[in-house]
Structure 1
């Protein structure tokens, strides 16, 4: 079985806790800024580092931001 490096990378999970969930809890409303920054980071580097994988990661963070906004409105 291979790891999904975009949606659920193994190296970001400890036990049953995913890093993104811990970040969301720690940041509160700042989570949207974290997502926005991550989108910019992956778009900034995609053509110099991981190509489509980085575009998919940017998309993942954009979707997380959209989901956050829907839940908090």
Structure 2
């Protein structure tokens, strides 16, 4: 599980792609908690589905930011299948 310290929270600028504030609670990020509670296979499926969602909607919602989010989820997936 990825642990984030108080110093990490102070040093990280707002980043809606890599570390969105709305996916943090205390010292843990949602992805780490999902891995711990749901397991690797479920999280891999989640990553693929989220990448698809961001690619599907990018022209109608957040453009480049959604493409970057899709890329982020595909990179997480690739990390999990190593």
TM score, norm. by length of structure 1: 0.89
Tell me what 2:70 maps to: 58
CA distance in 2: counterparts of 1:24 and 1:58, whole angstroms: 19
1:7-18 aligned at under 5 Å gives the runs 7-18=18-29
SS in 1 for 2:37: helix
CA distance in 2: counterparts of 1:33 and 1:62, whole angstroms: 10
TM score, norm. by length of structure 2: 0.80
SS in 2 for 1:62: helix
The gaps in structure 1 that reach 5 residues or longer are none
- After the TM superposition, which parts of structure 1 deviate over 3 Å for at least 4 consecutive aligned residues? none
State how many pairs are aligned.
70
Greater share of residues in helix: 1
